[in-house]
Amino acid sequence: MFDRKLDGITRNLLLFVLIVPILAILALEGFSDGNLKEVITWIRSYPAEFFLNYILMFGIINIFYVLPKRAYLVTSTIFLSLFSCLGFISHQKLKVKGEPLLPTDFLLAKEAFGISGHFQNVFIFIGIFIIITIALITLIFKHIFKQRKQRYRTVVFVCSFLVVFAFYSYLAPIQNTFALQLISYSQSLNYDQNGTMLGFLMDSEYLKVSEPDNYQEDGINKIVQNNSTPSYPVDADLKPNIILVMSEAFWDPTLMKDVSFNQDPIPFFHSLQKSQSSGIMLSPVYGGGTANTEFEALTGFSTQFLLNGAIAYDQYINRPIEALPAILGQQGYATSAIHTYDNWFYGRQKVYQELGFDKFISKEFLNSPQYYGQYISDTELTNQILNQVKKTSEPDFIYAVSMEGHGPYSTTENPQNVIKATDSELSSQSQAILDNYANTINDVDKSLQQLIDGLKNINEPTLVIFYGDHLPMLGDNYSVYKEAGFIEQDGNSYQDYLNLHSVPFVTWNNFSTTVKHDLKLSANFMGTYALQTAQKSGSPITDLLSNLMQKGNEVIISKDHWNAANIPENTFSDYELLQYDLLFGKEYSYNLEPDHKPSQNVNYIQGDALPVISSVLSSENSLIIQGSSFVENDKVYLNGKEVNTTYSSPDMLRIDLPKRIENIEIQVKLTDSMNKVISKSNIYKN
């Protein structure tokens, strides 16, 4: 008798305590991936991540195990249905916008409901599913609950509560213990590896941005009024091209005093330093986190006011921002972003629209690009910049991001290396890393010269600001820097912080008569400096920054080093408050200056131009699609199905002649490596 009771209790625990969370995970991941086979592959590939997702789901569902049997049954069913629904929503959002459901979606009603039109019928299905599931489970298992004892309810409840509490309060230690990685450069990959629940929870840690105690409309109005004009003169008639080139991991290795080279790795960069304004840019990151440097330069916001480890593009850009492209677009500029890597990296494909760019030309749109090592050469980036300047009648604002200098740098010496470190006591591995890096940036330096020479030939008034996003990661744990005596052994001192975050930058322009300046700016001041040099009006945030620059406060660093840098605590208090208002708050700033409130650029496109089909001709065994703006990666879709496509030219594509050619529909689409359509033509019907 006792054994039978124990077996009944065991069955209860297995069925409703252990199995229901597994079913919920399978439902969530299955709907999210759109394929149950992918879920099985994930479980096999990332067992630790699956285990943590299961434990978390166990806690969430079974915290209600203490309820009466029918209430627990209904609650479990609702959770099962809810997670199915969330998985489906995430899958639809991934198809529509290229990223899954994120914590920020729940902060914005427009984001949450903006995708609902793609799956309205699912809510009817979920409702019916809940009702049917409750009825079936009640009928099948109604006798199982009879033997459940209160003490088991209590034990399960306490365990579940502790699980939820642990994940909420100690997520960082859990991440460290299990070596979890938040993949901030791609939320799709983040969820693929960590699972939907865990990836979502790790993202949500960065939503804890507290409202400042003194955040009030009157205070914001006062800040805006006190900084209503920039500290520099504005010339509405002067409209030079403004080109910002952020070169991946570009740095000057000759700054390491204990190392010399057999020849200058970056001779052209050094020649510009002698004749043009240049200086040091304090990067917010070291060795990675490119998007945060880009965020600061384009928006004027500082990541020093954000949570440590946050990637602003990923967590915080979810509404239109009056960034440089929006500012200059309002003044008649054509605004273009160019990056020689995947469009989805760091979510740039969506962020650039929020920042006000007209177009985004990424790796997918380049025809047979030249490579240097494993990345596209900066020569290709230079060619794209020059093409944009040549083809537009308006002044250009171009933000170009390179990839050639990206690490890692091999620990084996490349036999083709011409430039080598000499007179050093580096280990053989460190010597190889440094030599490989020096030869890479030597090629980058040649591309910079190609850019300046090309702009001289075009002969339009132009400003170029060239800088690296961060120092290169030369070896593990700063090994090359330590061996070269560039930093101390711990790397934690104020001087080490400056050494590891100081990136040289240089400018070039052919219109200004001002004298050469030696500057020191943090990345968040770079955009304001560009506006000042070009004498263009800015925004509330850039006007405030220009006044800070006039007072000599043009560098903001980690608050850990403010005392060492003699930065008074309230130096940037107005700046931090205004940034909160514009990035997270109610945008009180625009009540005084409504013309500055940005709207989403509905004309934003990916690629240089949208492909257009003008005609379709039959020739022997093929159909010839004629039009414009075709690229090599374009594919033709015949009646909705992809067909084998041959690229002939920007004006012509070819496909095999179908057996039937009546009533056909043809469209050209470009799909990225995440299988997301990022460009498509008109639909041509015969």
CB neighbour burial string for 207-246, b if at least 16 within 10 angstroms, e if fewer: bebeebeebeeebbeebbeebeebbbeeeeeebbbbbbbb
Beta partners for 118? none
Determine the pLDDT at residue 233. 95
Please identify every stretch of the chain with a pLDDT value under 70, giving residue numbers as ranges: 1-16, 95-99, 104, 106-152, 184-186, 206-208, 489
93 is written with which tokens? 């959002």
pLDDT reported for residue 4: 52
Q: For the purposes of burial, counting CB atoms within 10 Å of the CB of 594, is it exposed (0-12), middle (13-18) or buried (19 or more)? A: exposed
Q: Which domains does the chain have, with CATH numbers?
A: 2-207 (no CATH), 217-592 (3.40.720.10), 609-685 (2.60.40.10)
By the 8 A CB rule, do 319 and 354 touch?
A: yes
What count of other Cβ atoms lies within 10 Å of the Cβ of residue 7? 11
Residue 557 phi, psi dihedral angles, 5° rounding: -125, 180
Residue pointed to by tokens 């033997």: 147
The answer to whether 248 touches 403, Cβ cutoff 8 Å, is yes
- Beta-carbon contacts of 24 under 8 Å, excluding residues fewer than 6 positions away, are 57, 61, 79, 80, 83
Q: How far apart are CA 523 and CA 560, in angstroms?
A: 18
User: Concatenated DSSP letters for 365-394?
Assistant: G-SS--EETTEE-HHHHHHHHHHHHHH-SS
End-to-end CA distance of the chain: 79
- Give residue 456's Cα distance to chain centre: 33
Residue 409 contacts by C-beta under 8 Å, 6 or more apart in sequence? 433, 434, 436, 437, 440, 472, 474
Q: Cβ contacts of residue 200 below 8 Å, gap of 6+?
A: 101, 102, 103, 191
- Count of positions (residues) in the chain: 686
In the block, residue with structure tokens 């000599």: 552
**In this structure, what token pair is assigned to residue 431?**
């010597």
Rounded Cα gap, residues 407 and 409, in angstroms: 5
Give residue 199's pLDDT.
82
